Structure 1
Amino acid sequence: MDTLRKEGILCDCVLVATDGSEVAAHRSVLAAASPYFRALFVHRTDSHTPSVSSSGDGDGGGHRTVESSCSRCQCRIIDDAGRSTSSRVTVITGVPAEQVAQLVDFAYTGKLRIRDFWEAEQLVPVAGQWLMTSLVDECCQFLVDHVSVENCIGVWLFVEHHGCQSTADAMRDFVLYHMRQLAIDGRSVEWFRLDARRVRELLADDRINVSGELDVWMMVRGWVAADREVRQPQLPALLETVRFGNEQPSDLLNVVQRDSLISPSLQELLAQVAIKPNRLRMPRDLLFAVGGWSNGAPTQCMEVYDWQANSWFLLPDNGDNNPRAYHAMAVVGHKILIVGGYDGSEYYNSVRCWDSHTGLWSEAAPMYSARCYVCAATLDGLVYACGGFDGQSRLATAEKYDPKRNQWTLIHSMNRSRSDAAASAYQGRLYVAGGFNGETVLASVEMYIPESDLWIEVAEMSSPRSGLGLIAYKDHPIAPMRIPRSNFAVAVLVGKVYAIGGYDGAQTTESVELYDAARDCWTVASRMNLSRSAVKACTIADCPNVARYCYRTSQ
């Protein structure tokens, strides 16, 4: 039909754009693609008021046309009165020519090429008017796929205004997750243009992604200060969104009480708000610890840490009956990969995948080599597994996994064989540090350059280390941990470094400590439920189904 349309064959309607240009089409195709056109062509007497005009000498031989107008839009439809249904119909669309052409193309092909944000935003109102819901969805999806922190509020309000509720809900969630960048870091002026109702709803939401209630106060303060004369009356209602009860009694309250925005008349209200019991916010980023060696045997135990509640809880195995230790762990999107490892008798080349959307385990493609004491990291969406022990020798080999293809590929071997090393990605490079070569503990560090498939030795560590942890964090020395650990897990959560479990020189431990760069000190966090070494941990950012994994919702 599209070929016939382009050749002008059997076309029985013409869509006229605002500039007077015309697009020929078939009524049957437009009616099939758009309930609006179906009603316009088939039942137009129900929604249009026709007027009849004639020309000629009045003896019935003159030319008569019927013109009708739609009360709901700018369209007018003109056809020849009394002629057969095959006569050509002209529709005055009130729509620019480029959009008419795009919408007609979509009606025929089901395909649309959107070039930019502006084009998508221009198409949505017309597609909505013509009841082409699949086109509206496609345009909204384009906006979502190209969203950024800078424009996310505008996209959210736009898709909500045009009735794309599921997309609007997803975009609101995106806004909630990036609130710190929006409202505190100042990456979007859109935050400061929101009305008081929207601001209050966002700040009151359990799912707002903040490191503490001081963040919420800073968001309140910034929004009010942007137009203080107009917005000061909104401050009492906004203060109630700050959950003072979730913070140390004196810290946050003292900051707010001393602020110039807090007038004497607000001090009493502030005192009342500060003592109200508050519900904890949902953590948007979660820390997962999997596997390890406990009570003389490997375990498949999986725990999740809810940092808002400072509590760990055990997750059900959900079909994973593969206890293992001395494995590696990596995150790809919202999935966790468990790479290699050892179960007390077998050295694994297998890879297990846990999907946080479903909470279920599945098998991924196996590695080329069995690898125990292996290290792994994610770089540019690919998982790299390096070194390890295959049951006979320490390995220098390395391989990378493409989750889109579910396939491993060998890369160039490292310069040194090493097991019990650690890996981390940083600024487009992969670093592997320390380990054991079968004879000595290593201080050496290698850097992998993916573009050239090349390993380069870089500056050594100050001390040889095996069973260590490696993360990309702030570029400065940090204080020693509270207790010595080997074969422990390390991860970054909400800007803090967590050291988890391991062997303390006398026994395996369930203890956890966290490093706060602002104070350059380690503090004790809640203990895991299970004491274990050779455990691995990772953080899933913006974890889906987060309520399923929160400590308080698991009780």
Structure 2
Amino acid sequence: MATSCMQRPTLQSDSSELNRFIEKLMAKIFCFYDEQSLIDVTFKVSNPTALVPAHRLILAAASPYFENLFSGDQDKNLVIEINDIDSDIFERLITFCYTGQTLVTVNNVGAMLKAAILLQLDNAITSCVDYLMAHINEYTVQGAYTLERETQCEYLKLKIIEFGTQNFMEISQSLEFLNFDVQKLQRILESDNLNITREEDAYDAIKRWFNYDVPARQEQLPLLIACLRLTQFDVDFLLTHIQPLPGCEILAYKALSWISKPEARTKINMRFTGARGIKALSWIRKHEARTNINLRFTGPRGVCAANCGEKTLLALCSMTNLNLLQYNKAEDKWQEYTSIKCDHICYRAILKDDNLLFIGGIKSGARPDIVRSWNIRKKTWKNLPAMKQARESHCVVELNGKIYAIGGREGKKVLSSVERYTTSDGWEPVKRLIVERYSGSAVTLNGKIYIMGGSSDDSDLKSVECYNPDSNTWTSCANMIECHISPGAAAHNGHIYVLGHYYAEGSSIVERYDPQGNTWSKICSLEVCGGFIACISLDNKLWAIGGKSTSADTSCVSVYDERNDRWRQMCSIPESIIRSCYVVPVDLLTSKE
């Protein structure tokens, strides 16, 4: 029996002796567990049925769940049935009680987290969540959000908010984002660390969320608009974008009042002249005291483009001796980053983390299945596992951390095969295309892959297909209005844009796809000759890089003005062949290894 003189050990500055004692003690305890010695409780667990022996003292010390379970029960041969946790998961968590460690995998992390919550194992909960967030590309972002809803785990909720804050531009384009509840979105938007390059990015995301279900979200909209740094907008933006939103009039006028300092007063007063201005000021005086929606943030966010990972463009140019050109936004000019020696043509390249992956292509007349990775920082090559199918003129995209190689050709054979690459499993085949094709383009949007256009044998295609990775199925979508061969394509603000036709002359047709309505429409054409056009979304703008200039041996660079349906010309890029273009962090191109 313990006596009152028993004391807890006190850690001194030199605690090596105590540490050795604890290590020896824990090693002996785990030895008892491993040998099933001095066991005083056995759990009978289902699915599949198994007996899991343990020591009550250890489990009670590890979890209040077990402490309450054993309280007052002196049965020396206690057997307890566990029916709501699979035996493998339960045994792993019992082991955790002894060692503080357990084997968590992408396949079992969801079940492990649910069981750890049930058993009140706080450290195991933390381990599961940390593992999930470290492997979120393999587990999928959508899966993480679903798990958070199912478990209501506060630590997971916190980590997801942090992830959404840091990866806001990508998350805000997903289908899952449109189903966020207002509290989750509010916590992300009010963060000073929201990773955006300009405040308009957050506004555009709110509008997409609001437009997804306008009737149900009208009352919630002002709560989200109040999370914006409204005083960072100019007067025109406040009056034309914020003030017309339902319930947001006071927020707009409060922001206008706040920025009404001497140097801005003239402009603001001009905006309030006439009947409309008098009516607005009268409305403010009448209703301002009654509203509980306040101007919450009057300063800029703590994170801005200069310190939160500003993005720029990196263009892959020419055919074999490749040039990498980076875009300098401040000076609106392109400058050389480096050159790459490459002995392939008709490959496809994709950005994966800090690497450019060159997949397939033609080498010395053969069509290999080779896959190579070129590290942007170190400027070094590395071989990756070869594809199952040799292919060229195919499409490559990344979805949920997995690389897909789609269609293409092998010799004269047009392919419908599709394969997927992960670091853990290598290349594996997935469902084939409905229509075999090469020289098309593919993008990802709302957790799905869309492939458009290209050719099949001797016919050019208008057809579009959509791949759902959850069901491993391709479905047909509405045809494009025109055929597009080797077009540029990008997902931008919830739509898909397809630009150009390699053989076009005079102008390049641009089409936009609405996935909700399954409809295509034409927008303003690019006034360029044929050639490769890379399409990319950067800073909430749609960029078209490529297409031959009629006046010089350069390629055009254009930015789409959606409000006025026109293309604005930027500084041309000094290369005639643009293979592809990527959005990369500026510090990736400036860091030293």
TM-score class, shorter: 0.5 to 0.7
**1:226 corresponds to 2:220:** yes
* Cα offsets for 1:190-241 (capped at 9, x unmatched): 437856xx65225x5234897636437869999995397xx79x95xx4546
Shift of residue 462 of structure 1? 6.9
Shift of residue 299 of structure 1? 3.4
**1:534 corresponds to 2:565:** no
Q: How far apart in 2 are the matches of 1:178 and 1:490?
A: 20
TM-score by length of 1: 0.57
Q: Identify if the C-alpha distance between structure 1 residues 153 and 331 changes in structure 2 by more than 3 Å, giving closer, same or farther.
A: same
Q: Which position in structure 1 is the counterpart of 2:495?
A: none
Q: How far apart in 2 are the matches of 1:366 and 1:208?
A: 38
**1:382 corresponds to 2:404:** yes
Shift of residue 12 of structure 1? 2.0
Give the letter aligned to residue 384 of structure 1: I
Q: How far apart in 2 are the matches of 1:116 and 1:11?
A: 31
Shift of residue 481 of structure 1? 0.8
Q: Identify if the C-alpha distance between structure 1 residues 504 and 526 changes in structure 2 by more than 3 Å, giving closer, same or farther.
A: closer
Q: Which position in structure 2 is the counterpart of 1:54?
A: none
Q: Identify if the C-alpha distance between structure 1 residues 171 and 493 changes in structure 2 by more than 3 Å, giving closer, same or farther.
A: closer
Aligned partner of residue 206 in structure 1, secondary structure = coil
Q: How far apart in 2 are the matches of 1:413 and 1:149?
A: 25
Shift of residue 522 of structure 1? 1.8
Shift of residue 483 of structure 1? 2.4
- Aligned pairs (5 A) from 1:496-515: 497-505=542-550, 507-515=552-560
Among 284, 292, 305, the residue aligned to 1:280: 305
Among 403, 410, 413, the residue aligned to 2:421: 403
Q: How far apart in 1 are the matches of 2:431 and 2:151?
A: 46
* Cα offsets for 1:29-53 (capped at 9, x unmatched): x85xx7945xx9xxxxxxxxxxxxx
Q: How far apart in 1 are the matches of 2:362 and 2:150?
A: 47
Among 191, 215, 234, the residue aligned to 2:183: 191
Give the letter aligned to residue 445 of structure 1: L
Work out whether residues 168 and 195 of structure 2, in 8 Å CA contact, stay in contact via their aligned partners in 1: no
Among 228, 241, 250, the residue aligned to 1:255: 241
Q: How far apart in 2 are the matches of 1:143 and 1:487?
A: 34
**1:25 corresponds to 2:53:** yes
Q: Which position in structure 2 is the counterpart of 1:55?
A: none
Q: Identify if the C-alpha distance between structure 1 residues 116 and 207 changes in structure 2 by more than 3 Å, giving closer, same or farther.
A: same
**1:106 corresponds to 2:149:** no
Give the letter aligned to residue 14 of structure 1: V
* Cα offsets for 1:448-500 (capped at 9, x unmatched): 989999x9xx9995799645699984211232212223234344557765332
Q: Identify if the C-alpha distance between structure 1 residues 96 and 524 changes in structure 2 by more than 3 Å, giving closer, same or farther.
A: farther
Give the letter aligned to residue 520 of structure 1: D
Q: How far apart in 1 are the matches of 2:427 and 2:314?
A: 25
Q: Which position in structure 2 is the counterpart of 1:47?
A: none
Work out whether residues 488 and 499 of structure 1, in 8 Å CA contact, stay in contact via their aligned partners in 2: yes
Q: Which position in structure 2 is the counterpart of 1:444?
A: 460
Work out whether residues 529 and 550 of structure 2, in 8 Å CA contact, stay in contact via their aligned partners in 1: yes
Q: Identify if the C-alpha distance between structure 1 residues 191 and 446 changes in structure 2 by more than 3 Å, giving closer, same or farther.
A: same
Sequence identity, in percent? 11
Shift of residue 353 of structure 1? 2.9
Work out whether residues 418 and 432 of structure 2, in 8 Å CA contact, stay in contact via their aligned partners in 1: no
Among 318, 323, 327, the residue aligned to 1:292: 318
Aligned partner of residue 485 in structure 1, secondary structure = coil
Among 434, 444, 454, the residue aligned to 1:433: 454
Q: How far apart in 1 are the matches of 2:196 and 2:450?
A: 33
Give the letter aligned to residue 357 of structure 2: L
* Cα offsets for 1:147-169 (capped at 9, x unmatched): 5399479569965647x987774
Work out whether residues 35 and 130 of structure 1, in 8 Å CA contact, stay in contact via their aligned partners in 2: no
Shift of residue 312 of structure 1? 5.4
Among 190, 207, 220, the residue aligned to 1:200: 190
Q: How far apart in 1 are the matches of 2:551 and 2:419?
A: 37
Q: How far apart in 2 are the matches of 1:154 and 1:309?
A: 44
Among 24, 30, 41, the residue aligned to 1:14: 41
* Cα offsets for 1:54-100 (capped at 9, x unmatched): xxxxxxxxxxxxxxxx89974766798xxxxxx949799xx987469
Shift of residue 359 of structure 1? 7.9
- Aligned pairs (5 A) from 1:465-544: 466-467=502-503, 473-474=512-513, 475-491=520-536, 497-505=542-550, 507-528=552-573, 531-539=574-582
**1:337 corresponds to 2:357:** yes
Q: Identify if the C-alpha distance between structure 1 residues 370 and 78 changes in structure 2 by more than 3 Å, giving closer, same or farther.
A: closer
Aligned partner of residue 560 in structure 2, secondary structure = strand
Aligned partner of residue 478 in structure 1, secondary structure = strand
Q: How far apart in 2 are the matches of 1:220 and 1:128?
A: 36
**1:321 corresponds to 2:341:** yes
Aligned partner of residue 476 in structure 1, secondary structure = strand
Work out whether residues 292 and 300 of structure 1, in 8 Å CA contact, stay in contact via their aligned partners in 2: yes
Work out whether residues 180 and 209 of structure 1, in 8 Å CA contact, stay in contact via their aligned partners in 2: no
Aligned partner of residue 212 in structure 1, secondary structure = helix
- Structure 2: runs of 5+ lacking an equivalent: 1-28, 45-50, 97-101, 265-298, 486-500, 514-519
Q: How far apart in 2 are the matches of 1:91 and 1:9?
A: 15
Q: Identify if the C-alpha distance between structure 1 residues 255 and 507 changes in structure 2 by more than 3 Å, giving closer, same or farther.
A: closer
Shift of residue 269 of structure 1? 1.0
Work out whether residues 347 and 370 of structure 1, in 8 Å CA contact, stay in contact via their aligned partners in 2: no
Work out whether residues 149 and 188 of structure 1, in 8 Å CA contact, stay in contact via their aligned partners in 2: no
Aligned partner of residue 479 in structure 1, secondary structure = strand
Q: Which position in structure 2 is the counterpart of 1:173?
A: 166
Q: Which position in structure 2 is the counterpart of 1:148?
A: 142
**1:128 corresponds to 2:121:** yes
- Structure 1: runs of 5+ lacking an equivalent: 18-22, 41-69, 81-86
Q: How far apart in 2 are the matches of 1:273 and 1:189?
A: 41
Q: How far apart in 2 are the matches of 1:348 and 1:478?
A: 37
Among 259, 280, 283, the residue aligned to 1:270: 259
Q: How far apart in 1 are the matches of 2:543 and 2:553?
A: 17
- Aligned pairs (5 A) from 1:354-365: 354=374, 361-364=381-384
Q: Identify if the C-alpha distance between structure 1 residues 152 and 521 changes in structure 2 by more than 3 Å, giving closer, same or farther.
A: farther
Give the letter aligned to residue 204 of structure 2: D
Aligned partner of residue 205 in structure 1, secondary structure = coil
- Aligned pairs (5 A) from 1:304-315: 304=326, 314-315=336-337
Work out whether residues 314 and 324 of structure 2, in 8 Å CA contact, stay in contact via their aligned partners in 1: yes
Q: Which position in structure 2 is the counterpart of 1:548?
A: 587
Aligned length: 462
Q: How far apart in 2 are the matches of 1:193 and 1:514?
A: 29
Q: How far apart in 2 are the matches of 1:416 and 1:71?
A: 57
